[in-house]
Amino acid sequence: MNAPNRLVLFTLAIVLTLAGCATPRPAPTLYEQFGAEPGLAALVDDLLERFADDPRVGVKFANTNIPRFRRLFIEHLCQIMDGPCTYTGDRLEEAHRGLSIDEGTFNAVVEHLIDAMDAQRIPTRAQNRLIAKLAAMRKDVIYK
Partner 1 sequence: MTTPISLLRTVALLAACVSVMPDVALADRGRLLATGGATQLEGAAGGGLVPWAVLSGYATRDGYGATAYATRVEVDDYALDSGGVAFTARNRIEVSIARQRFHLGTLGDALGMPGATISQDIVGAKLRLAGDAIYTPWPQLSLGVQHKKNRDFGVPSAVGARDDHGTDVYLAATKVFLGGAGGYNLLVNGTLRSTEANQLGILGFGGDRGGRRVVGEASVAVLVDPSLAFGVEYRQKPDHLAFAREDAFRDVFVAWFPNKHLAAVAAWADLGSVATLDDQRGWYLSLQASL
Q: How far apart are CA 103 and CA 105, in angstroms?
A: 6
Give, as ranges, the residues between 14 and 73 that touch ligand HEM (CB under 6 A). 57, 60-61, 64, 69, 72-73
- Angle value at C-alpha 78, between 72 and 82, nearest 5 degrees: 145
Does residue 90 belong to the site contacting ligand HEM (CB under 6 A)? yes
Of ligand HEM, partner 1, none, which one sits near residue 42, judging by CB under 5 to 8 A according to partner kind?
none
Residue range at the interface with partner 1 (CB under 8 A); choices 39-47, 69-77, 91-99, 136-144:
136-144
Q: Binding residue for ligand HEM (CB under 6 A) from 36, 42, 131, 137?
A: 137
Exposed, middle or buried, 34 (CB in 10 Å: 0-12/13-18/19+)? Answer: buried
Sorted by sequence, the CB contacts under 8 Å of residue 54 that are 6+ apart come out as 108, 112
Does 129 bind ligand HEM (CB under 6 A)? Our answer is: no
